[in-house]
Structure 1
């Protein structure tokens, strides 16, 4: 029997490129397996999750109520703040309106005072610009009527121990033609050199109830006469501080103007 050579049992070499194909197929299988697992997990998750009902769960309704309550509280707080701010603005408007009325009243009063001062200035010019005693007396009368507000007055000039009437307007001159210095309010004004004003100064027992004021007329330190003022006009119920200032001006300027225009003798001396 003839000897046969041993048979080669080595498997044949795979064809070229077979390894790469197997690798790609393996990767593809792994991707498919991974996708299947993900799908399985999703289905399992959906199966475990209960289907929500159409009505909101109690927790969701409670949260919504809390949200609405919070918004309502904020809205109420905003309304309260707006009301407080509105009241503050209204109070401020009331203050501004009151201030406007006060300024308007002050402006009107200032205008009236300016008019009175203008009249007083013109009258004072007449006091010092008049050429005669009659001009001075007329200027005094104009001031008392237009500025003070009385159409009942008398102007006196001192003559020793008595006061002689120079001019009476709106009153009976008979009882006051001559007044003794120191007698009654008129005579006391000439004696003391101090003005008497009703409502400000105490009245003596025998005082004329219709007398409103009596003003001394001065020339330097001497009292040379007096102005008596009786009832005031209807629009002037009382004498105020402005009238007191007018009286001070009359006391100084009218007395001086009368003295400068006093009658003189042949030697240029003032007659008694």
Structure 2
């Protein structure tokens, strides 16, 4: 439910946050009261950060000390502690982190759209669309190539997605020669579908393929909707990514809530 200001309420925020946690399972996680500490080999920040998981999650000096010990002393490679600040965190959490020298990075938005059943979108002319409900090796290889992952990163990311236990759809766009031009991953969790990992080959940018990947994910999400029970699609986007924000708004997404990361001293 959206507030008069257009944003969604705290219960919906908590639901989307939990769906997002499940969509990218970390290698390690522990719960510390209303916070969850996630670690996955130093890859994506959302899988390597402390996250509030209940409304009003307090953060005091003792809990912050435990968070810091977890990231600096758990795993093969210690990493700087990262705390993700969402509307679920108590108001004093951000102030405490700022006082401790944690810098802000990656200000982002979560956006949502209500989806009713409709026919799937048609990919652009000359492009073939493949939708796999089990992520194929070629998709993993393409993601690693597009993101420049080394062997360790490739193995870690593969293990994380192999642990994914929610219904999902791996999207692949190819040209007539079979070259992969774009990929994406949609993950369903009840009445919510998250859109993740939209990637387009650098040589193919500017051709509307980001839209085509997103359309394909939304088409799959709509197959899970009914006339009486729409599906809520959600995604995360950096607040400085103007082209992506414009694209998602043109597809019917609206701002739901903001978050940012605080990265601690190394």
Give 1 or 2: higher strand fraction. Answer: 2
Q: Which has the larger radius of gyration?
A: 1
After TM superposition, the score normalised by the length of structure 2 is 0.23
TM-score (norm 1): 0.22
Structure with more helix by fraction: 1
Relative contact order (alpha carbons < 8 A, sep ≥ 6): 1 or 2 greater? 2
